[in-house]
C-alpha cells in the first residue's frame, strides 16, 4: 500500500544514492588546472602542516582571504590520510550539492499535497538542480561557493518554516546555518535569508492587518523579531574573527573590510570580476544548461500553466518567487559579479523547470523527444571525438589528451547509470528517458571527457622539476600582478609549499607594512611575459640563463621559465 511517509523516505535515500554515485567516485580524476582550486586547498594543507586551524599562514607569511569553514571541512576530510588531495579538497563541495538537493526535495514534498505527483515533481526538481551546468560544475570544484549555497538555502528553508509558524520561538537550525555560512564566506549568508524571509513575513503581516496603525505596529514587531536571529548567528563567527584578529591584527581587519564592504560597493583596490548590469542574464541561461533549451521551447501562451497567479499564490510559491527575485536583484548591485554567486537561486528555478518538463510531457511530448535526441547526438559526437583523440587518430591544437586509465571510472559510471535509470523510472516515469539522458551526459563528462583534457592544462607534472631544482636552494615564484595576490598556486600546492612567493612591494604598500628583504639566491619560476617587469622592478637581482619548461601555466596563461638568480 502506498503511504506518503514511507515513499518519501525511500525517495530520499535513493536521491542521496543517486547524488553520491553521480559525483563522489569521480572527484579526484582531474588534477588542479586553474588557480582557484589550489588556492583554497593550500589553506587546508597549511592547517595540517602547521597545526594552526585559526588563520594558517604560508611559509612566507600570507594567509587566506576567506573565513575558514570550507578549509576546515577539507582538512577534516584529509585527516584520515594526513594529506590534502584533489578528492578530499572537492568532497565538501560535492556533499554540499547533494545535501542542497536533499533539502530542496524535502521542502517541496512536505509543504504540498501528499501524493505521488507531488513526490515526482519534488524529485525531478532535485535532479534538475544537480544536473544544471553551474551546479554540477561547482559540485566537482574545490571552491567555497557550493558550501556557501548549501548554508544559505538551508537557512532559507528553516526561516520559512519559522515564518509559516507565525514567528513563534527561535529557528535554531536556521541560526546555526547562517552562522556556519558566515564562517564560509561572510555576512551575506545572514543577509540573504533574513532579507527574503523578512519581506515574506511583512507580506503575511500586511494581509493579516486590518488598518494602517495596526499594520505599522505589526511591521515593526516583525522587523524586531529578526534582530535576535542576526545577533545570534554572529556569535560563532565572532569568536573566530576575534581569534584571527588577535593573531594577525590590522592586516586581517583590512581584509575583512575589503572583502565584505569594498567588494559590495565596487571600491576594491584592484579589479575583481567587474561586469555590467546585464551580465547575469546570459550567465544564468548558460548556468541552467541543458534545461535552458526546454525553457526556450515552451510556447509563451503556456507559461501561465507553469505557475500560479499572484492573487491565488500559496505561501510556499510566494516564498520561491521572492527568493528568485530578491537574490537576483541583490547580486545585480555590486560591480563584482560571478555566475556562482547566483547558485542559491537554482533550487527555486529548478522547481519551475521541473514543472515545465512535466507540462511538456503531458501536452508537448514531441519537444521532450527532440530534447532527448539532441542530447544523444551531442553525447555521440563528444564520445566519438574523445575516442579518436585517445587513439591518436585526431588532435585539437593546444589540447592534447593525456593518457587516462578509464577502467575504474567506467565501472562506477555503469553502476551509476543503471541505478539512475531505475530510480527515474520509479519517480519520474513520464520524463525518465529525457532526464536520464541529461544524467548520462553529466556522468560521462565528469568521468571520461573532462579529466584527460583538463589534466593536460595542469602545472602538476612540473612540480617534480621545481623540487629537483630547489634541492639545495630556495624556490620562488613571481607574477606581475598589481595586487600582489596572484601566484603560481597550482605548483605551490603540488610542491607542498616549497615554492615561495617573491616579496611583493604592492602588497606591502596595500597593508602598510615594511615588506620583506629580497632573497640572496635561489631559483625563480616566472612567466615569459613577466620577465621584463621583474627586471625593471628588481634591477639588483641578476638572472642567469633560463630553463624553458615549454608549458603554458594554467594559473597565469604564460609559458613558464626557471631562472637561477643571485
| Top mean-pLDDT range of 267-281, 404-418, 503-517 | 404-418
Residue for grid cell 587546508:
44
Q: Please tell me the distance from the alpha carbon of residue 356 to that of residue 526, in angstroms, as a whole number.
A: 52
Name the residue with higher pLDDT: 305 or 183: 183
Q: Please tell me the distance from the alpha carbon of residue 155 to that of residue 176, in angstroms, as a whole number.
A: 8
- Cis peptide leading into 250, omega within 30 of 0? no
Contacts of 49 (CB under 8 A, 6+ apart): 496, 497
Q: Is the predicted pLDDT of residue 482 greater than 80, yes or no? A: no
Cβ distance 97 to 136 under 8 Å?
yes
Mean pLDDT over 406-435 rounds to: 79
pLDDT band for position 394 (cuts 50, 70, 90): low
Least confident range from 130-139, 235-244, 426-435, 535-544: namely 426-435
Could you give the angle at which helices 432-444 and 116-131 cross, rounded to 10 degrees?
30
pLDDT of residue 345: 95
pLDDT of residue 471: 80
| Top mean-pLDDT range of 291-305, 407-421, 495-509, 529-543 | 529-543
pLDDT band for position 130 (cuts 50, 70, 90): very high
By C-alpha distance, which of 553, 560, 563 is closest to 522?
A: 563
pLDDT of residue 267: 61
Q: In percent, how much of the chain has pLDDT > 90?
A: 37
By C-alpha distance, which of 381, 382, 380, 366 is closest to 434?
A: 366
Specify the 3-state DSSP secondary structure of 33: coil
Q: Please tell me the distance from the alpha carbon of residue 15 to that of residue 23, in angstroms, as a whole number.
A: 13
Name the residue with higher pLDDT: 197 or 399: 197
Q: Is the predicted pLDDT of residue 197 greater than 90, yes or no? A: yes
**Residue 347: how many other CB atoms lie within 10 Å:** 27
Q: Is the predicted pLDDT of residue 553 greater than 70, yes or no? A: yes
Q: Is the predicted pLDDT of residue 302 greater than 70, yes or no? A: no
Strands 559-565 and 547-552: antiparallel
pLDDT of residue 84: 94
pLDDT band for position 336 (cuts 50, 70, 90): confident
Q: What is the DSSP secondary-structure string of 313-362? A: --HHHHHHHHHHHHHHHHHHSSSB--GGGGGGGHHHHHHHHHHHHHHHHH
**Residue 482: how many other CB atoms lie within 10 Å:** 11
Q: Please tell me the distance from the alpha carbon of residue 481 to that of residue 556, in angstroms, as a whole number.
A: 10
Q: Is the predicted pLDDT of residue 516 greater than 80, yes or no? A: no
Q: Please tell me the distance from the alpha carbon of residue 525 to that of residue 491, in angstroms, as a whole number.
A: 10
Q: Is the predicted pLDDT of residue 300 greater than 60, yes or no? A: no
The dihedral of CA 188, 352, 295, 154: what is its sign?
A: positive
Residue for grid cell 584533489:
86
Q: Is the predicted pLDDT of residue 400 greater than 60, yes or no? A: no
Q: Is the predicted pLDDT of residue 435 greater than 50, yes or no? A: yes
Cell of 537: 622592478
Q: Please tell me the distance from the alpha carbon of residue 388 to that of residue 390, in angstroms, as a whole number.
A: 6
pLDDT of residue 161: 93
pLDDT of residue 512: 47
Mean pLDDT over 146-155 rounds to: 97
The dihedral of CA 89, 138, 259, 173: what is its sign?
A: negative
Least confident range from 45-59, 272-286, 313-327, 388-402: namely 388-402
Q: Is the predicted pLDDT of residue 312 greater than 70, yes or no? A: no
Q: Please tell me the distance from the alpha carbon of residue 498 to that of residue 468, in angstroms, as a whole number.
A: 11
Mean pLDDT over 216-225 rounds to: 79
CA distances from 192 to 2, 197, 345, 408, 522 (A): 38, 9, 11, 41, 49
**290-322 per-residue burial string, b: 16 or more CB within 10 A, e: under 16:** bbbebeeebeeeeeeebeeeeeeeeeebebbeb
Q: Is the predicted pLDDT of residue 402 greater than 80, yes or no? A: no
Q: How far apart are the first and last CA of the chain?
A: 81
pLDDT band for position 140 (cuts 50, 70, 90): very high
pLDDT band for position 206 (cuts 50, 70, 90): low
Cβ distance 520 to 530 under 8 Å?
no
> Backbone dihedral region of 521: left (phi > 0), alpha (psi from -120 to 50 degrees) or beta?
beta
Q: Is the predicted pLDDT of residue 270 greater than 80, yes or no? A: no
Mean pLDDT over 346-364 rounds to: 88
By C-alpha distance, which of 152, 124, 192 is closest to 351?
A: 124
Q: Is the predicted pLDDT of residue 505 greater than 80, yes or no? A: no
Mean pLDDT over 434-448 rounds to: 84
pLDDT of residue 245: 86
For the chain, the average pLDDT equals 84
Q: Is the predicted pLDDT of residue 508 greater than 50, yes or no? A: no
| Top mean-pLDDT range of 124-133, 269-278, 483-492 | 124-133
Mean pLDDT over 482-504 rounds to: 83
**Residue 358: how many other CB atoms lie within 10 Å:** 18
Cβ distance 332 to 280 under 8 Å?
yes
pLDDT of residue 506: 54
The sheet carrying 499-501 orders its strands as 499-501, 475-478, 522-527, 559-565, 547-552
Mean pLDDT over 192-218 rounds to: 77
Mean pLDDT over 55-71 rounds to: 79
By C-alpha distance, which of 435, 440, 297 is closest to 380?
A: 440
pLDDT of residue 1: 39
What is the separation of C-alpha 430 from the centre of its chain, rounded to a whole number of angstroms? 31
Q: What is the pTM of this model?
A: 0.91
Q: Which H or E run includes 177?
A: helix 172-182
pLDDT band for position 135 (cuts 50, 70, 90): very high
Strand partners, 561: 526, 548
Amino acid at each position: 500500500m502506498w503511504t506518503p511517509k514511507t515513499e518519501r523516505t525511500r525517495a530520499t535515500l535513493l536521491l542521496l544514492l543517486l547524488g553520491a554515485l553521480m559525483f563522489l567516485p569521480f572527484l579526484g580524476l582531474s588534477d588542479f588546472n586553474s588557480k582557484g582550486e589550489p588556492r583554497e586547498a593550500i589553506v587546508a594543507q597549511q592547517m595540517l602542516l602547521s597545526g594552526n586551524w585559526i588563520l594558517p599562514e604560508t611559509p612566507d607569511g600570507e594567509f587566506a582571504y576567506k573565513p575558514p569553514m570550507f578549509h576546515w571541512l577539507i582538512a577534516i576530510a584529509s585527516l584520515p590520510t594526513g594529506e590534502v588531495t584533489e578528492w578530499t579538497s572537492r568532497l565538501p563541495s560535492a556533499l554540499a550539492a547533494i545535501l542542497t538537493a536533499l533539502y530542496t526535495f524535502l521542502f517541496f514534498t512536505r509543504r504540498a499535497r501528499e501524493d505521488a505527483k507531488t513526490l515526482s515533481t519534488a524529485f525531478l526538481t532535485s535532479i534538475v538542480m544537480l544536473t544544471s551546468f553551474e551546479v554540477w560544475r561547482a559540485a566537482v570544484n574545490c571552491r567555497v561557493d557550493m558550501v556557501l549555497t548549501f548554508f544559505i538555502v538551508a537557512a532559507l528553508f528553516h526561516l520559512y518554516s519559522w515564518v509559516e509558524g507565525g514567528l513563534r520561538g527561535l529557528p535554531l537550525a536556521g541560526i546555526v546555518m547562517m552562522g556556519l555560512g558566515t564562517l564560509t564566506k561572510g555576512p551575506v549568508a545572514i543577509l540573504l535569508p533574513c532579507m527574503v524571509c523578512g519581506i515574506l513575513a511583512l507580506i503575511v503581516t500586511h494581509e493579516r492587518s486590518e488598518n494602517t496603525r495596526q499594520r505599522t505596529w505589526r511591521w515593526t514587531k516583525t522587523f524586531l523579531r529578526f534582530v535576535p536571529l542576526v545577533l545570534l548567528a554572529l556569535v560563532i563567527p565572532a569568536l573566530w574573527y576575534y581569534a584571527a584578529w588577535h593573531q594577525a591584527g590590522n592586516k586581517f581587519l583590512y581584509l575583512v573590510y575589503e572583502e565584505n564592504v569594498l567588494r559590495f560597493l565596487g571600491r576594491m583596490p584592484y579589479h575583481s570580476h567587474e561586469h555590467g548590469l546585464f551580465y547575469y542574464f546570459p550567465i544564468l541561461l548558460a548556468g541552467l544548461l541543458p534545461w535552458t533549451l526546454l525553457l526556450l521551447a515552451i510556447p509563451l501562451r503556456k507559461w501561465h500553466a507553469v505557475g500560479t497567479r499572484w492573487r491565488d499564490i500559496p505561501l510556499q510559491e510566494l516564498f520561491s518567487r521572492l527568493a528568485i527575485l530578491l537574490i537576483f536583484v541583490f547580486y545585480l548591485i555590486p560591480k563584482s559579479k560571478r555566475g556562482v554567486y547566483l547558485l542559491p537561486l537554482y533550487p527555486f528555478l529548478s522547481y519551475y523547470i521541473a514543472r515545465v518538463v512535466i507540462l511538456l510531457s503531458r501536452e508537448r511530448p514531441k519537444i521532450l523527444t527532440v530534447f532527448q535526441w539532441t542530447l544523444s547526438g551531442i553525447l555521440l559526437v563528444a564520445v566519438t571525438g574523445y575516442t579518436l583523440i585517445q587513439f591518436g587518430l585526431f588532435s585539437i591544437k593546444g589540447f592534447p589528451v593525456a593518457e587516462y586509465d578509464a577502467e575504474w571510472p567506467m565501472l562506477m559510471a555503469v553502476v551509476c547509470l543503471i541505478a539512475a535509470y531505475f530510480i527515474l523510472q520509479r519517480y519520474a516515469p513520464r520524463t525518465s528517458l529525457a532526464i536520464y539522458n541529461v544524467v548520462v551526459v553529466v556522468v560521462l563528462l565528469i568521468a571520461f571527457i573532462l579529466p584527460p583534457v583538463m589534466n593536460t592544462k595542469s602545472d602538476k607534472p612540473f612540480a617534480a622539476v621545481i623540487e629537483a631544482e630547489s634541492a639545495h636552494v630556495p624556490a620562488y615564484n613571481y607574477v606581475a600582478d598589481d595586487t600582489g595576490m596572484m601566484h603560481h598556486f597550482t605548483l605551490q600546492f603540488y610542491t607542498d609549499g616549497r615554492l615561495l612567493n617573491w616579496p611583493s612591494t604592492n602588497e606591502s604598500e596595500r597593508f602598510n607594512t615594511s615588506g620583506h628583504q629580497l632573497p640572496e639566491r635561489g631559483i625563480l619560476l616566472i612567466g615569459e611575459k613577466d620577465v621584463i617587469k621583474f627586471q625593471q622592478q628588481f634591477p639588483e637581482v641578476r638572472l642567469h640563463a633560463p630553463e624553458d619548461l615549454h608549458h603554458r601555466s594554467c594559473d597565469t596563461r604564460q609559458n613558464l621559465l626557471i631562472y637561477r638568480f643571485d
